[in-house]
Structure 1
Amino acid sequence: MRISREYDLSRLMISISGVRGKIANGLGLGEALLFSQSFATMMEQGTVVIGRDSRPSGPYLEHLLTSALLANGSSILNLGLVPTPTTKAVVNLAKARGGIMISASHNPMEWNAFKFISKGGFFFNAKENETLLNLLKHSQFAPEIIHPKSYVESGEDYIDLHIKSVLSRVNVPKIKKKKFKVFVDAVGGAGSYVIPALLRTLGCQVIEHNCKPDGTFPRPPEPTPAALKSVEKHFKKSKAEIGFALDPDADRLVLFTPKRGAISEELTLPLVLKNVLSDSKKGSKVVVNLSTSFLNEHVAETFGAKVIRSKVGEANVVEEMIAEKAVFGGEGNGGVIDPKIPSFGRDTLSGIAHILNLMAEEKKTIDELVSELPSIHMDKQSFPLSKEYSLNDLYDKFVSGFGRATISKKDGLWLSEGDTWIHIRPSNTEPIFRVIAEAKSEAKLKETLKRVQTCVES
């Protein structure tokens, strides 16, 4: 779809997660300027927070965005290189009009993105995204101010406030007493400084790996066990008691354990959930997305809590958490959401602190805590999504192939057969569709995957 005479935005991924694309082949200077002007118009001369990850394209996109905001009379709190949750937290703490995170999260280095943040530190909802796109489509940008009184200042002090808010949720003296030896792989991204600083504040001995934020991403940026195979030997050599791996903007968290190495990203959420629910009332509500593991229901049932499933996407999970007054939430990709922390979104600082607190309170190793959870039997696949491909036709094949399943079309197609579920949906961040399946036994998962393959190939 051609939105303006000059720029074709069809190569961009525009979704609830913001706008992202490949530099010079999608998100070029022209496209970035259009989105910057639309965003600046929505900010109405308020204070705006800007953060970015370590991608080489980050600085020039930051300056472009800064120029558009200053021209419209907004003032800027510039955080520089920080995690996405820190940017969100500072928007909240500084009572800013809004904010923007320049990061394509787990996408490769040649990608970048704008993640739009509204008042209170929440990502733009569907209505706000629609407003931004309408401004862009019709070129309804606010005129430049001849004598702007806007300014740029550092928001470094607010970064410390984010760390303090995380510390307030855990027993700091008890964690400090343990003097944990902790390994951190920040993939050369936005968590390279903040995460080691948090850990040292908690009295940990920190072994830093890939913590030079040069934006080259020395391993695949999405922190899955497969992507972390090359890092495992460094973790084991360190003799650390636990390890944490991040994505480039530090909103996804994956663990290393001494016995298992890198473990599934799906284990992060139930471990943190156990720590949160240990101090929550019976009957509390937890929100996870449709693609997240059964393990969270297992932990919730232990504490008499209820799990509610939302659409995929941090903004969707948060919206459901607010509506349900949930005490906790998150996504199975390693995204931990604690509503009592001002980022109120996926936050690796929060996840790290809660897991160390669980180890300290229960006096158990991370391997012991993982062994207490049921085994996970899940498979995640992705397939190219061409413009000619009909997702509705694919959904029909799955409905026929799983004729006895309970169906939900809340987000793509979700099919449940009691001890098994399958979720098929287009990605918010890449031109692919995902098929995720989970079963409560390895045999059942293998049987389910054969049926999935038949549906995809037919």
Structure 2
Amino acid sequence: MQIDRKYDLSALMVSISGVRGRIREGFGLEEALLFANAFATMMEGQTVVIGRDSRPSGPYLEHLLLASLLSRGSNILQLGLVPTPTTKAVVHLAKAQGGIMISASHNPMEWNAFKFISKKGFFFSAEENQTLLKILQSNTNSPAQIHPKAYVESGEDYVDLHLQSVVQQVNQTKIKKQKFKVFLDAVGGAGSEVVPALLKKLGCQVVLHNCKPDGTFPRPPEPTPTALVSSEKAFKQSKADIGFALDPDADRLVLFTPKRGAISEEYTLPLALQNVLSYAKKGSNVVINLSTSFLNEEVANRYKASVIRSQVGEANVVKEMLASKAVFGGEGNGGVIDPKIPSFGRDTLSGIAHILNLMAESKQPIDALVSDLPEIHMQKTSFPLAKGFSLETLFQKFREGFPKAEVVTKDGLWLSEGDRWIHIRPSNTEPIFRVITEARSKIDLEQTLKRVQKCVES
């Protein structure tokens, strides 16, 4: 995103995912107040929803936002510790003008962020982000009111409405009959209370692990199999039927199975998709991003559905889902998007419910359902963005390294050779660029990775 440098925001990540940074290295009180005042100006006099994850910096950022919004006459629904999808759902359900989720998602504890939410629960569009930055850079904030008629109230009742909306998309009776034993690792984050509440509504016996929401993150916050080694041991000891691991704001979901332990986050979406497509009309559209596994095409083909690939980022997937009237969508990072749920974005509660429903309807254990899908042969690597680094030069090297590939340039560089694809793009949330590679076999992946390495190193 291009921004005027009147204020030095170079230490922040400003993108379609909001604004984020390290608390003591760029996203301090001064910078946070700039964005809070600009957002409060956009929301002047309107109802606004605020949620946060468990990071220690969350409460003071929340109070800063409360002051900015109240001083401009905005009424506030305060949710406290809730997942990002719950905050988005409440904006929609309460017919609020907007909202903010205070969370840096999968980033480490020393990071935090403002995720800006528009009406109907959608993240800010590129145009809305530009409006906010224009207000910030031009210092055209509306003045604080002398007698603002504004108030703060709890949004607890709306949180339960989000849970009910998730339950309505599955067969609650069938799931309850199975009496699933479910292991949950919430990394001490925003899902520590809301997700167990959902599981209890579905009649599950819940084994809680890392569900003390103190924001210290007892394992790496991004729920990859590598980060879940200790949690995997606890899961196997629990003898649970299935396990779920979350990131700090509970919009990413990873599974544990009794035989495999923690599995790739890329399995989450196709399993949930299988449940949805079993009820959907033939020819339905599904949207995934360019960095998401072939597995979703495999499932879609079984149900005669069409797959559309969008740019990376929840807002981009949702935009394409709206345009194509898709019945389902998501991202390979464990992000499941059901348009029938008012969060209409990556929602771990939705993913959990759909996967449990698939198990109940098929009467198959999770290991059998995973084994019914092809093996994943994918590698995700990342490299720091060095000073003076040119992505254009890198893209040219990849074009030369894969001269016969189909080329898509709507989000970095995506190259496809039919049985393999490579996606190179800068991250929206970290100062790095990512290279994601997938092939149909282990040997093909290894050979493709050698070609990728030559492009990066040359």
The interval holding the TM-score normalised by the smaller chain is over 0.9
Corresponding residue for residue 185 of structure 1: 185
User: Is the contact made by 1:3 and 1:9 (CA closer than 8 Å) also made in structure 2?
Assistant: no
SS in structure 2 at match of 1:227: helix
How far did 1:3 drift?
Answer: 5.5
SS in 2 for 1:30: helix
Instruction: Spell out, residue by residue over 1:411-457, the C-alpha distance to the aligned partner (whole angstroms, 9 max, x if none).
Output: 00000001000000000000000000000000000000000000000
* Distance (Å, rounded) in 2 between the aligned partners of 1:329 and 1:80: 28
Partner of 2:438: 438
Alignment partners' CA distance in 2, 1:396 and 1:2: 26
Q: Is the 8 Å Cα contact of residues 377 and 438 (structure 2) preserved in structure 1?
A: yes
CA distance in 2, matches of 1:454, 1:242: 40
Equivalent residues in 2 for 1:192-271, closer than 5 Å: 192-271=192-271
Q: Which of 40-49 and 50-59 deviates more?
A: 40-49
Match of 1:405 in 2: 405
Name the structure 2 match of 1:335: 335
Do the aligned partners of 1:20 and 1:112 also contact (CA within 8 Å) in 2? Answer: yes
Alpha-carbon distance between aligned partners in 2 of 1:443 and 1:25, rounded to the nearest angstrom:
43
1:92-123 Cα offsets, whole Å, 9 max, x none, are 00000100000000000000000000000000
Task: Quote the offset at 1:9 in angstroms.
Answer: 1.0
Length-normalised TM-score, structure 1: 0.99
User: What amino acid is the match of 1:35?
Assistant: F
Residue 58 of structure 1 deviates from its aligned partner by 0.2
1:44 Cα offset (Å): 2.5
Within 2, Cα distance between the matches of 1:450 and 1:42? 49
Which amino acid letter does the alignment assign opposite residue 284 of structure 1?
A: S
Shift in Å at residue 180 of structure 1? 0.2
Aligned mates of 1:19, 1:387 — CA distance in 2: 21
**2:243 alignment partner, SS class:** strand
Task: Please provide the CA RMSD for this pair.
Answer: 0.9
Cα deviation for residue 230 of structure 1 reads: 1.5
1:200-239 per-position Cα deviation (integer Å, ceiling 9, x unaligned)? 1111000000000000000000000111112111000000
User: After superposition, where does 1:36-47 map in structure 2 within 5 Å?
Assistant: 36-47=36-47
* Distance (Å, rounded) in 2 between the aligned partners of 1:96 and 1:49: 7
Aligned to 2:382: 382
After TM superposition, give the deviation of residue 36 of structure 1 in Å: 0.3
1:23 counterpart residue number: 23
Letter of the 2:172 counterpart: V
Distance in 2 of aligned mates of 1:230 and 1:184: 13
Code of the aligned partner of 1:190 = A
1:368 deviation in Å?
A: 0.3
C-alpha distance after superposition, 1:101-154 (max 9, x if no partner)? 000000000000000000000000100000000100100101111110000000
AA aligned to 2:213 is P
1:365 aligns to 2:362 (yes or no): no
CA shift digits 1:378-424 (9 cap, x unpaired): 00000001231000000000000001101000100000001000000
Distance, in Å, in 2 between the alignment partners of 1:242 and 1:105 is 24
Map residues 42-53 of structure 1 onto 2, 5 A cutoff.
42-53=42-53
2:123 corresponds to which residue? Answer: 123
CA contact (8 A) 1:50 1:87 kept: yes
Percent identity over paired residues: 75
CA–CA separation in structure 2 for the residues paired with 1:202 and 1:58: 30
CA distance in 2, matches of 1:3, 1:449: 39
* CA deviation string 1:332-388 (max 9, x = no partner): 000000000000000000000000000000000000000000111000000001231
Task: Summarize deviations over 1:244-295 as a string: whole Å, max 9, x none.
Answer: 0000000000000000000000000000000000000000000000000000
For 2:399 and 2:371, how far apart are their aligned partners in 1?
36
Distance 1:149 1:24 in 2: 34
Return the alpha-carbon distance in structure 1 between the equivalents of residues 266 and 204 of structure 2.
25
Q: In structure 2, what is the Cα distance between the partners aligned to 1:10 and 1:4?
A: 8
Classify the secondary structure of the residue corresponding to 1:78: strand
Contact 2:45 2:72 in 1 (8 A): yes
The CA deviation at 1:45 is: 1.0
Q: Which residue does 2:135 correspond to in 1?
A: 135
Q: Name the count of aligned residue pairs.
A: 457
CA distance in 2: counterparts of 1:3 and 1:32, whole angstroms: 17
| 1:58 paired residue number | 58
For structure 2, list consecutive stretches of 5 or more residues without a partner in the other structure: none
Stretches of 4+ aligned residues off by more than 3 angstroms:
1-5
Structure 1 gap segments, 5+ residues each: none
Q: Which amino acid aligns with 1:353?
A: A
1:273-325 per-position Cα deviation (integer Å, ceiling 9, x unaligned): 00000000000000000000000000001000000000000000000000000
* Contact 2:3/2:133 (<8 A) preserved: no
1:55-75 per-residue CA deviation (whole Å, 9 max, x = no partner) reads: 000000000011000011101
Shift in CA distance, 3/403, structure 1 to aligned 2, threshold 3 Å: closer
Alpha-carbon distance in structure 1 between the residues aligned to 2:105 and 2:144: 32
**How many angstroms apart in 2 are the aligned matches of 1:246 and 1:144?**
39
Give the corresponding residue for 1:318: 318
1:420 and 2:420 equivalent? yes
- Whole-angstrom CA distance in 1 between matches of 2:310 and 2:340: 20
On the 8 A contact 1:2/1:10 being kept in 2, the answer is no
Contact 1:121 1:342 in 2 (8 A): yes
Q: Which amino acid aligns with 1:113?
A: A
CA distance in 1, matches of 2:3, 2:275: 49
Structure-2 separation of matches of 1:382 and 1:24? 24
Contact 1:2 1:8 in 2 (8 A): no
TM-score normalised by structure 2 residue count: 0.99
The letter for the 1-side match of 2:105 is S
